[in-house]
Amino acid sequence: FDPSKEADAATALIEQGVDVIMQHTDSPAAMTIAEERGIMAFCQASDMLQFGPTARLSSIIDNWEPYYIARVQAQIDGTWESVSTWDGIAPGMVKIGAFSDRIPADIQAEAQALADSIAAGDYHPFTGPLNKQDGSVWLADGEVADDGTLAGMNFYVEGIEGDVPN
């Protein structure tokens, strides 16, 4: 969490020609810069619409409230156990924000259908065939990456340019 550095990073990306940004920070700095510079952006963690009413296309919203309530209640009840939690769309820990009118209706419908399919368990985004950035096989045809595999990824998949930060 460093809004000044986040704003600098967003500005640098825009000055390099980026016309859509997405940040994985809790501050509105990148969204604010996107709004000021007239580019499009996606939000993460919360909706942030108020910081970029024309820039914001949609958002990934972290909904931790039910999880925290359940964990505190388990502690109160004496049933709390330490467990790894990797929840997503289906249990409601991750939500997709409303779509901007700047996104065509058919694309909105397609995105919503995909989110619904993920939530229903009919589609897993990390299903092979998928290759690593260097072209070597990561997931064979039909193979699905489990949560532990995803948490341990230290490479980009084919089609992503750049280097994984150290």
pLDDT one-digit tens code per residue, 34-84: 999 999 999 988 899 999 999 999 999 999 999 999 999 999 999 999 988
Quickly state the pLDDT bin for 1 (edges 50, 70, 90): confident
Residues 55/76, Cβ–Cβ less than 8 Å: no
| Adjacent-strand bridge partners of 40 | 20
Give me the helices (H) in the chain, please. 3-15, 29-37, 65-77, 105-120, 147-151
Q: List all residues 6 or more positions away from 57 whose beta carbon is below 8 Å from its beta carbon.
A: 20, 40, 41, 42, 99, 100, 102, 103
| Adjacent-strand bridge partners of 62 | 94
pLDDT in tens, 91-143: 899 999 999 999 999 999 999 999 999 999 999 999 999 999 999 999 999 99
